[in-house]
């Protein structure tokens, strides 16, 4: 990645999609936090890559200079406005995508254990997705990782007498995971809405079966464990739906990730007695309470999906995702997320042979997706701590919870690579070969719908000429809670304290639902002048999501 993106198409940006908490201010928190994190915890070579990645996706808060995200809802009017005036595309338009995501229910639980400067994490994520063609997918991925963490705190001079303080913490994590995706499309009545209802019922029932099966598999060893396991499995099998998928997932998923995160918090300590000392001159520190001002996270994921059955059987897809997430506020919570994703699909058998022979790969499909989410809501994130008398050891407890309502704008560009020239163009771009490597500007779907000019690169031109371009908006609701416990150690030098945890555990649970809203649109074929107008996406609006 390089600075090309930071200079590209600066004039195309506006402030579409900002929520009640100013998006630019939130990204300012991320920039400050991540700048310190990268300096504290990340190896030099990785730090350079992550900093360049921020340049790809985070807009500077300076009125138009700096980095451009390349899309994600800020190029123009942000898609359909729901006023019913969106024109319709021509019947049988080959540029109209076949289906869209109507709704997604996502649950994720993460447990992080910290020992000294080492962090170990484990998480499980489950997604239930409804699609406009009447199909439903269920996805489950478990992930584990490890990394390092550091923190530093300092007193606030103006609040010295009150024990005011501020702290900055950061961590660097690498992880890997695995899981699967199940496809529910067994009900085919000819009515996509009815199919969706029946397939969703099957998916929910199969979820209960998986939960029961997990309970059976986690039974401790002991007398008659095999017999009890068989009985448990028999009752679990009775929970299967009438049209269940295979027990093995339709798609095998493997995942690797790199995460850099950190937070800024402010606090106040409490003492009794004059000057914080009793009549004998001994300290009388009663502990402290703090509130979290802001957190920031940068994540780079690589997901590999190998389809065993279903319409994509025999295909392997690599999904590269980079996202920046900011969350802030002690009582009123606000969040902002930017995401860019590239998915490249190959024939699995051919890919494996090319890999074995050391030959170049030939992708069959490319999908580029960008999204922007902004939201706010009620919530709280606080912590309290106390010193162990006579020692530099502290015990901290923290937690919080809340609800955030947000809006998500998503754009997608999909192109089938049906000839060697297009396939080689995409592979060279992805691998960083040629004059327009992937480290340069990532073309957005909105950019690809505009008439090409002298600055248009070959990949963006390919998306303009052959890509299926679409734009969607969602309303999202996120319920979350967090709880933590830590035993810390601090070394003071004047007003600055270098602190770290001897041991800590942090549990976070998040349930998020997103549902389509507004008028979904897609870009039909090029018209006079080369631009591709946005029209109503009938294949997306024919089916309504089921609450």
The DSSP bridge partners found for residue 152 are 168, 498
Min mean pLDDT across 154-168, 332-346, 523-537 is at: 154-168
**pTM tops 0.85, yes or no:** no
Give residue 544's region: left, alpha or beta (phi > 0; psi -120 to 50).
beta
- pLDDT grade, residue 291 (50/70/90)? low
- In 3-state terms the chain splits into helix, strand, coil percentages (rounded to 5) of 25, 45, 30
Contacts for 308 with CB less than 8 Å, ≥ 6 apart: 248, 249, 250, 251, 252
H or E stretch at 230? helix 225-237
Q: pLDDT (tens digit, 9 = 90+) per residue, 351-366?
A: 999 999 999 999 999 9
DSSP for 278-305 reads -TTS-B-EEEEEEEEEEEEEEEEEEEEE
Give residue 190's region: left, alpha or beta (phi > 0; psi -120 to 50).
left
Q: Using alpha carbons, select from 514, 539, 517 the residue that is nearest to residue 130.
A: 514
Alpha helices in 364-444 (DSSP H): 420-431
Q: Using alpha carbons, select from 294, 21, 69 the residue that is nearest to residue 166.
A: 294
SS3 481: strand
Q: Which pLDDT score, from 0 to 100, does residue 435 have?
A: 64
Contacts for 395 with CB less than 8 Å, ≥ 6 apart: 385, 386, 388, 486, 487, 488
Dmax (CA) of the chain: 89
| Helix (H) and strand (E) counts in the chain | 9, 13
pLDDT exceeds 50 at position 13: no
**Bigger pLDDT: 287 or 425?**
425
- Cβ pair 144, 259 in contact under 8 A: no
Contacts for 498 with CB less than 8 Å, ≥ 6 apart: 152, 490, 491
pLDDT exceeds 90 at position 19: no
Q: CB neighbours (10 Å) of residue 432? A: 12
In this structure, what token pair is assigned to residue 16? 């579409």
SS3 180: strand
The DSSP bridge partners found for residue 398 are 383, 484
Q: How far is CA 330 from the centre of its chain?
A: 22
Compute the average pLDDT of residues 363-374. Answer: 93
Give me the torsion for CA of 78, 82, 83, 87, rounded to 10°. Answer: 70
The DSSP bridge partners found for residue 289 are 268, 384
**Bigger pLDDT: 382 or 357?**
357
Q: Which pLDDT score, from 0 to 100, does residue 192 have?
A: 94
Q: CA 524 to CA 470: how far, in whole Å?
A: 10
The DSSP bridge partners found for residue 375 are 335, 406
In this structure, what token pair is assigned to residue 477? 């609701």
pLDDT exceeds 50 at position 80: no
- Cβ pair 320, 301 in contact under 8 A: yes
Give residue 432's region: left, alpha or beta (phi > 0; psi -120 to 50).
left
Min mean pLDDT across 356-360, 410-414, 432-436 is at: 432-436
pLDDT exceeds 90 at position 488: no
Distances (CA, A) of 166 to 24, 336, 372, 384, 518: 22, 23, 30, 14, 42
DSSP for 423-446 reads HHHHHHHHHT-SSS-TTS----HH
Compute the average pLDDT of residues 348-352. Answer: 95
Q: Which pLDDT score, from 0 to 100, does residue 166 have?
A: 59
Distances (CA, A) of 366 to 57, 342, 415: 20, 7, 5
pLDDT over 90, % of the chain: 38
Contacts for 357 with CB less than 8 Å, ≥ 6 apart: none
Q: Which sign does the torsion angle of CA 435, 258, 423, 530 carry?
A: negative
Q: How far is CA 198 from the centre of its chain?
A: 29
Q: Which pLDDT score, from 0 to 100, does residue 394 have?
A: 76
Distances (CA, A) of 74 to 11, 468, 490: 11, 19, 45
Compute the average pLDDT of residues 278-289. Answer: 52
Distances (CA, A) of 322 to 51, 314, 445, 512: 12, 27, 17, 20
To the nearest whole number, what is the mean pLDDT of the chain? Answer: 76
pLDDT exceeds 70 at position 499: no
Q: pLDDT (tens digit, 9 = 90+) per residue, 226-266?
A: 655 666 666 666 666 666 666 678 899 999 988 877 666 65
SS3 318: strand
- pLDDT grade, residue 518 (50/70/90)? very high
């Amino acid at each position: 990645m390089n600075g090309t993106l930071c200079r590209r198409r600066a004039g195309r940006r506006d402030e579409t999609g900002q929520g009640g908490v100013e998006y630019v201010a939130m990204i300012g928190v991320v920039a400050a936090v991540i700048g310190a994190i990268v300096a504290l915890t990340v190896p030099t070579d990785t730090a350079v890559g992550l900093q360049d990645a921020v340049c790809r996706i985070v807009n500077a808060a300076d009125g138009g200079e700096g980095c451009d995200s390349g899309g994600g809802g800020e190029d123009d009017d942000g898609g359909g406005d729901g006023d019913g005036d969106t024109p319709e595309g021509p019947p049988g338009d080959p540029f109209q995508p076949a289906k869209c995501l109507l709704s997604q229910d996502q649950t994720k639980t993460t447990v992080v254990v910290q020992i000294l400067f080492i962090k170990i994490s484990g998480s499980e994520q489950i997604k239930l997705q409804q699609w406009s063609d009447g199909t439903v997918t269920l996805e489950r991925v478990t992930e584990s990782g490890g990394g390092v963490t550091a923190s530093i705190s300092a007193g606030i001079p103006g609040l010295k007498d009150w024990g005011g303080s501020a702290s900055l913490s950061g961590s660097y994590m690498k992880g890997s995971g695995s899981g699967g995706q199940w496809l529910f499309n067994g009900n085919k009545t000819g009515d996509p809405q009815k199919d969706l209802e029946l397939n969703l019922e099957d998916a929910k029932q199969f979820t209960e079966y998986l939960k029961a099966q997990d309970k059976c598999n986690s039974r401790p060893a002991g007398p008659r464990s095999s017999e009890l396991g068989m009985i448990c499995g028999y009752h679990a099998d009775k929970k299967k739906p009438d049209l269940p998928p295979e027990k093995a997932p339709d798609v095998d998923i493997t995942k690797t990730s790199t995460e850099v995160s950190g937070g800024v918090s402010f606090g106040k300590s409490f003492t009794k007695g004059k000057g914080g000392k009793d009549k004998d001159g001994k300290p009388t520190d009663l502990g402290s309470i703090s509130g979290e001002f802001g957190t920031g996270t940068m994540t780079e994921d690589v997901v590999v999906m190998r389809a065993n059955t279903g319409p994509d059987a025999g295909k392997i897809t690599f999904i590269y995702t980079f996202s920046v997430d900011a969350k802030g506020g002690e009582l009123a919570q606000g969040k902002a997320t930017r995401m860019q994703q590239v998915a490249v699909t190959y024939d699995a058998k051919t890919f494996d042979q090319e890999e074995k022979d050391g030959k170049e790969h030939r992708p069959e499909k490319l999908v580029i997706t960008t999204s922007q989410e902004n939201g706010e809501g009620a919530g709280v994130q606080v912590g309290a701590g106390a010193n162990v008398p006579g020692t530099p050891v502290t015990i901290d407890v923290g937690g919080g919870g809340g609800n955030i309502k947000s809006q998500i704008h998503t754009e997608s560009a999909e192109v089938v690579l049906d000839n060697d020239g297009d396939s080689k163009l995409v592979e060279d771009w992805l691998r960083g070969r040629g004059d327009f490597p992937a480290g340069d500007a990532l073309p957005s779907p909105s950019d690809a719908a505009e008439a090409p000019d002298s600055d248009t690169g070959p990949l963006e031109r390919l998306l303009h000429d052959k890509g299926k371009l679409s734009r969607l908006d969602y309303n999202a609701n996120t319920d979350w809670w967090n709880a933590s416990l830590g035993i810390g150690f601090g070394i003071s030098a004047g007003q600055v304290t270098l602190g770290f945890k001897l041991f800590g555990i942090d549990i976070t649970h998040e349930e998020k639902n997103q549902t389509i809203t507004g008028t979904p649109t897609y870009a039909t074929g090029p018209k006079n002048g080369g631009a591709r107008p946005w029209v109503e996406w009938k294949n997306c609006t024919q089916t309504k999501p089921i609450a």
